[in-house]
Structure 1
Amino acid sequence: MATKPYLSALLMLALSASLSACTAAAENPELRLSDQRGTLLIGNKGEDTLSFVDLRTGKELAKKDTGHQPHEIAISPDSRLAAVVSYGGESIDIFDIAAREKVETIDLTPNKRPHGVIWLNDGRIMATTEGSDSVTIVSPPTGEAQTRTVSSISTGQKGSHMLAISPDKERGYVSNMQSGTVSVLNLKTGQKIIDLPAGKEPEGLALTPDGKRLLVADRQNNMLFVFDTKTLAEIAAVETGNFPIRVAVSPDGQTAVTSDLGDGALGLFDLETLAFTRTISVSGDKRSGQVTILFSTNGDKIYAAETGTNRIAEIDLESGQVERRLPAGTNGDGLGIALPM
């Protein structure tokens, strides 16, 4: 059947618009939309708010009040809720992501200054409580009253800041900045196993997906330490860029990335050879205040919080290009991605 003239004209217009959009996107990376789905959550520690940003459009959907100095964020296993710590206080706020509303505040007292936080698939929420030299464990809500219990495990170390949990949920690892150690915790018995020396000021912390290797970034000595989690022996110490404040591992377990605040850059490391591979310049400027880094769910992109410019950089890992910058509030830092249900 022949195409009617007016339909043909419409098709030509649509094709022309499509080609123009592709050309504009190719010429301007800021116009390229991420292939990621879902919502990026940002803890704005300088203004006590939580931002909700649509990853498809790059637009802010909402901004809601939090406790004092919101920092790290943990997404619930079903992607419906977010836990946001109040680093300047003694609580964790729970947000309904779809509704973009705070639905609960969990009082952690006597534990203080929660920071690194993880939401386990058994419903427990665990957070370092730096002001109490401990890790605090919050149970899932139970009973008609939906009550929670709060307990803690002492690290006995100073500056207990970041947290990693083994895949079997039997061990916890805590970086202690002022003590220069990583505490290894037995989560079944609630006891500390050992403190591992980890340079001068270890902060960034990550496990490989299989739980076999622990990575620790010493931000003062510009070193990345790698430990065997079975033997707890140090198996590598690799030089990094300037002031590696965070470390993250790709979902496939092949690549480690450090957030080098002093360089405004990312450092990439091959986890098979334990060797440095390349640098990705994000801002190239320490004044951007680059801190938290987070992989996309499929690992092809990484998000870097530039706290000094109130933006989140979205970087294509393969090309090393900054594809766009997303809006954040004042000193936006902690990050979480919630997938659509």
Structure 2
Amino acid sequence: MSNNSKTARARFDAAAPMSSRPAAMLALLCMLGASAFTAAGAQVIVSANDGKQVRSGDAVAGPFPDEVLTLSLDRAGRPQVLGRVNAPATLNGPPVSITVAPNARFALVTSAQRFGPDNKLQPYGVVSMIDISVPTKPRVVQSLELPPGAMGVTMTRDTKLALIVSASDDSVSVLSITPGKDMKLVSTIRLEPKAEPRDVVIAPDSRSAYVVRFGDGKITRLLIDGTTVTRGADIAVGTNPDGAIITHDGRYLYNTNFGGTPSSGKAGAISTVDLRTQAMVAAITVGPTPEHVALSADGRYLVSIVGNGSAFTRDAANFADVVGRVRVYRAGKAELVQLAEANVGHNCQGATFSDDGRHILVQCAVEKTITTFAFDGSKLTPVENATLTFDTRPGAIATARSR
């Protein structure tokens, strides 16, 4: 185990001696601790870490149990582990396998793989409801099996409905939610063969959702009426669209395209769909493997993680020469305007803003890290001593205001 990983675990385990106190005192202290955390206004960040991905060059081979972590940032922007719980998690697909309730009381986390009887990874589908109301003690409330390849997950603002896409099954699962208590499968929407849906996002009015289809370059609109979800029209975007986000006013959808768009060429791109006209209206070239797009809490900025051809293993020939990039754009209009850029590590995927927009957390799978950049509106600066290192690979990250 790395020194940083030991430090992270030590922060979490520091509360362990309370377990030897009388049960009533322990319950009171936990309640007071949760109240103090909420009163302080600390932001809860949720990370899904995949322990199944064993790669050459790792100092410690693994595999390790998957885990879901709750994090916070201190005043300097350094991430700290609050709690952790073993639960299925995935690095496969875009880093959109987490959605956090607006009140930060619970989260839904999907996983697309598991070990089969032959001890090899195979497609799988599961979603876990995780209670994070006491951030230092996250717990799995329920797990529900889904079609294989479960990836992108999203909830309506009232948290009573969730949508989950399954890439290996070309389907969308519709779940009714009793917030923080249970999930039930209501219906399944079938897409065309080889659509390979990887993400789904719900519009701010909770009346529409948009499914990102990696396999055939389309985005499918879904119409929502309570727990009834029906299929609408398709929108053509770029080649291999992967993940998406919708502006707070519901006007634009930004999505990544691994293979570019007709207007941007074959390099990776971020395209803009005008949801009033239901058509792609703009695109910008960003480079190979644009993994993630996420908005700041105020909707002014968009962060994108670009793989940039960086290595998937530490012993790859180009490990020392090629790294990923994190970029920030001015958002809210059809044309994105780049404001800042910085180098990151290798096979980096997930990113999220702090609620105040002053910091961005970035996950890198090869280094097994979560680190922080300060953002002042025009430049990105690495925060000193702000890297957590894990045995598992961080694969998705979200807050109550980022998904």
Name the TM-score, length of structure 1 as normaliser: 0.79
**8 Å Cα contact 2:329/2:340 also seen in 1:** no
- Aligned with 1:64 (options 69, 85, 95): 85
Q: Distance in 2 between the 1:82 and 1:273 partners?
A: 31
Specify the SS of the correspondent of 1:118: strand
Question: Contact 1:128 / 1:160 at 8 angstroms: preserved in 2?
Answer: yes
Deviation, 1:44, is: 1.0
Distance 2:89 2:246 in 1: 29
Does residue 102 of structure 1 match 2:140?
yes
What is aligned with 2:315?
Answer: none
Alignment partner, residue 178 of structure 1? 215
- SS across alignment from 1:253: coil
* Partners of 1:91 and 1:51 in 2: CA distance: 18
2:291 aligns with one of 239, 245, 270: 245
Q: For residue 37 of structure 1, what is the aligned residue in structure 2?
A: 42
Q: Does 1:316 align with 2:403?
A: no
Q: Write the distance in 1 (CA, Å) between the matches of 2:155 and 2:183.
A: 17
Q: What is the CA–CA distance in structure 2 between the aligned matches of 1:248 and 1:149, rounded to whole Å?
A: 27
Q: 1:276 maps to what in 2?
A: 337
CA distance in 2, matches of 1:258, 1:299: 14
Label 1:170 to 1:253 Cα distance change in 2 as closer, same or farther (>3 A). Answer: same
Query: What is the deviation of 1:115?
Result: 0.9
Shift of 1:297: 1.8
Contact kept? 1:282, 1:313, Cα under 8 Å: no
Runs of at least 5 residues in structure 2 that lack an aligned partner in the other structure: 1-39, 52-63, 114-123, 261-267, 309-322
CA shift for structure 1 position 268? 2.8
Distance 1:129 1:303 in 2: 27
1:278-310 superposed Cα distances (whole Å, 9 cap, x missing partner): 442132x5xx21111212222222221111111
1:63 Cα offset (Å): 3.0
The change in CA–CA distance for 1:119 and 1:153 in structure 2 (over 3 A counts) is same
The corresponding residue for 1:12 is none
Alignment partners' CA distance in 1, 2:89 and 2:399: 22
Q: Report the Cα distance in structure 2 between the residues aligned to 1:197 and 1:248, rounded to whole angstroms.
A: 21
- Give 3-state SS (helix, strand or coil) of 1:112's partner: coil
Deviations 1:77-104 (A, max 9, x none): 3211121112222221112211322121
Equivalent pair of 2:213/2:220 in contact (CA under 8 Å): yes
How far the C-alpha of 1:66 sits from its partner, in A, is 1.1
Shift of 1:177: 1.0
Cross-structure match for 1:135: 172
Matched-pair contact (CA < 8 Å) for 1:128–1:135: yes
Out of 230, 234, 254, the position equivalent to 2:280 is 234
- Structure-to-structure mapping, 1:149-188, within 5 angstroms: 149-156=185-192, 158-188=195-225
Cα distance in 1 between the residues matched to 2:178 and 2:149:
22
Cα deviation per residue 1:197-230 (whole Å; 9 max; x = unaligned)?
A: 2211111211111110011111222211111101
Does the alignment pair 1:77 with 2:108?
Answer: no
Bigger Cα displacement from structure 2, 65-74 vs 120-129: 65-74
Distance 2:79 2:86 in 1: 21
Identity of aligned residues (%): 21
Partner residue in 1 for 2:121: none
Match of 2:392 in 1: 330
Runs of at least 4 residues off by over 4 Å? none
Matched, 1:212 2:251: yes
Higher Cα radius of gyration = 1
Cα RMSD (Å): 2.6
2:358 aligned partner: 300
Q: Larger relative contact order (C-alpha < 8 A, sep ≥ 6)?
A: 2
Q: Structure 1 stretches of 5 or more lacking a match?
A: 1-34
Q: Secondary structure at the match of 2:259?
A: coil
Q: Note the C-alpha offset of 1:150.
A: 3.1
Cα distance in 2 for partners of 1:254, 1:150 equals 35
The one-letter code of the counterpart of 1:185 is L
Q: Corresponding residue for 1:118?
A: 154
